[in-house]
Structure 1
Amino acid sequence: MNEIPQQFALTVAFELEIFDSTGSAVKFGSLLPSDVAGKVVVVFIRHFFCGSCKQYVEQLASVPKESLDKSNVRIIIIGCGHSDAISVYKESTKFPGQIYADPSRKLYHALGMNIETLAATPAWKEKRSYLKLGTFSNVVSSIFKGPLQTPGLIGKQGNISQLGGDFVFGPGKHCIFASRMQHTEDHVEVSELMKHAGVDF
Structure 2
Amino acid sequence: MAEAISPITRQVTIENKEIGSLSVDYRLEDVEDCLIYDRHGVSFPFKTLYRDRKSVIIFVRNFLCYSCKEYVEDLSKIPKEALEDAAIRLVVIGQSAHHHIEPFCLLTGYPYEIYVDPERSIYQKFGMKREEKFTDSAQPSPHVKSGIFMGQVKSIWRAMTSPAFDFQGDLHQQGGAIIAGPGSQVLFSHFDMNRLDHMPINWLLQLAGVQQTLDFSDKPTIIHV
1:163 corresponds to 2:183: no
Deviation, 1:118, is 4.8
- RMSD in angstroms over aligned alpha carbons? 1.7
> Contact 2:29–2:184 at 8 Å: present in 1 too?
no
Answer yes or no: is the 8 Å Cα contact 2:132–2:193 preserved in 1.
no
2:72 to 41, 50, 57: 57
Q: In structure 2, what is the equivalent of residue 176 of structure 1?
A: 187
- Distance in 2 between residues matched to 1:143 and 1:90, nearest whole Å: 19
SS in 1 for 2:31: helix
Please give the TM-score of this superposition, normalised by the length of structure 2.
Answer: 0.80
Quote the sequence identity (%).
31
Map 1:21-170 → 2, pairs under 5 A: 21-34=39-52, 38-113=53-128, 115-118=129-132, 121-144=134-157, 146-152=158-164, 154-155=165-166, 157-170=168-181
Gaps of 5+ in 2: 1-9, 12-22, 213-225
Are residues 1:196 and 2:207 paired?
Answer: yes
Tell me the alpha carbon deviations over residues 127-183 of structure 1, each in whole angstroms, 9 at most, x when there is no partner: 111111111121122122x3133131x236010110010110123331100000111
Q: Which has the higher contact order (CA 8 A, sep 6+)?
A: 1
> 1:5, 1:175 within 8 Å by CA — same for their partners in 2?
no
In 2, Cα distance between equivalents of 1:155 and 1:13: 27
Amino acid at match of 1:4: V
The alignment's TM-score, normalised by the length of structure 1, stands at 0.89
The 2-side partners of 1:193 and 1:117 are apart by 24
Number of corresponding residues: 192
Aligned-partner residue type, residue 24 of structure 2: I
Larger radius of gyration between Structure 1 and Structure 2: 2
Superposed displacement of residue 26, structure 1: 1.2
Gaps in structure 1 of 5+ consecutive residues: none
